[in-house]
Amino acid sequence: MKSTRHQDLIRLLAASDWLTTDALAAGLNVSKETIRRDLKQLQQQGKIVRHHGRARAIHPDHRDGGEPFGARLKSHYADKADIARHALDWVSEGMTLALDASSTCFHLARQLPDISLTVFTNSLPICHEMAKRERITLICSGGTLERKYRCYVNPALVTQLKALLLIDKSKFQRSSEVKIGHLSQVTQLISDVQLARR
């Protein structure tokens, strides 16, 4: 019965852009708690994306299901700013930083001191922020500008970078439609939650 309900959930989500937990519970005639448990399992399996009481199916041929940069910047604002403050402890003069178009990296960019650093980014807001720092060398990835996400997309670009992952607690146990690397490549994780060591 649960597997049938999961299939029905995927079918409903695939037919819509986003559906709320309430709509899914009513559509399948089950409780909101049941739907939340089901959505959590489906998200952990990488089949759906959840965001603030709503969900959508992950379509392999559709990659534009994310939140616009402005919305991501407002979400978990204090947590992301705290993570960025902690990341500053890892930054020292002469380093090269690769900052992607995440809102957490933008918080870090805003807090970076004007010291001798090289910043490599695909983020338009980070480019604007780094342009204010005279001692920071800015390298932009270039490519096609994705206005919704305020970043440049350059599929031909391949980089070999030490992986420092800044991640707020809302991203754990969630799937994303965009993959930028494998977790095994991460050498340092900075978050607003304490993780158990393995």
Asked, for residue 196, whether it belongs to a domain, the answer is no
The reply to whether 135 and 186 lie within a common domain is yes
The reply to whether 153 and 184 lie within a common domain is yes
**pLDDT value, residue 159:** 46
**Residue whose C-alpha is closest to residue 105's, from 171, 52, 184, 48:** 171
16, two tokens: 């819509």
The reply to whether 25 and 74 lie within a common domain is no
**pLDDT value, residue 149:** 85
What does each of the 198 residues of the chain score in pLDDT, given as a tens digit?
Answer: 678 888 888 888 888 778 889 989 898 999 999 999 998 888 877 788 887 788 888 765 444 556 778 887 888 888 889 999 999 998 999 988 888 888 999 999 999 999 999 999 999 999 999 999 999 999 998 888 888 888 888 766 644 444 455 566 666 655 554 455 556 666 666 666 665 555
The reply to whether 79 and 173 lie within a common domain is yes
Q: How many residues does the chain have?
A: 198
The reply to whether 16 and 91 lie within a common domain is no
pTM metric for this prediction: 0.55
Asked, for residue 62, whether it belongs to a domain, the answer is no
Whole-number Å distance between alpha carbons of 150 and 126: 10
Asked, for residue 84, whether it belongs to a domain, the answer is yes
**pLDDT value, residue 178:** 47
**pLDDT value, residue 55:** 86
CATH number where 161 lies: 3.40.50
**pLDDT value, residue 187:** 61
The kind and range of the H/E element at 154 are none
The reply to whether 140 and 168 lie within a common domain is yes
C-alpha distance from residue 166 to each of 32, 72, 137, 156 (Å)? 32, 14, 22, 24
The reply to whether 51 and 101 lie within a common domain is no
Domain count, the chain: 2
The reply to whether 88 and 8 lie within a common domain is no
**pLDDT value, residue 137:** 95
Termini Cα distance of the chain: 35
Asked, for residue 164, whether it belongs to a domain, the answer is yes
17, two tokens: 């852009």
Is there a contact between 187 and 160 (Cβ–Cβ < 8 Å)? no
The reply to whether 12 and 73 lie within a common domain is no
CATH number where 38 lies: 1.10.10.10
Strand ranges (E), 58-175: 96-99, 117-121, 136-140, 144-146, 151-153, 163-167
**Residue whose C-alpha is closest to residue 171's, from 69, 36, 76:** 76
Asked, for residue 63, whether it belongs to a domain, the answer is no
The reply to whether 106 and 43 lie within a common domain is no
Is there a contact between 9 and 38 (Cβ–Cβ < 8 Å)? yes
Q: Which domain holds residue 28?
A: 2-57
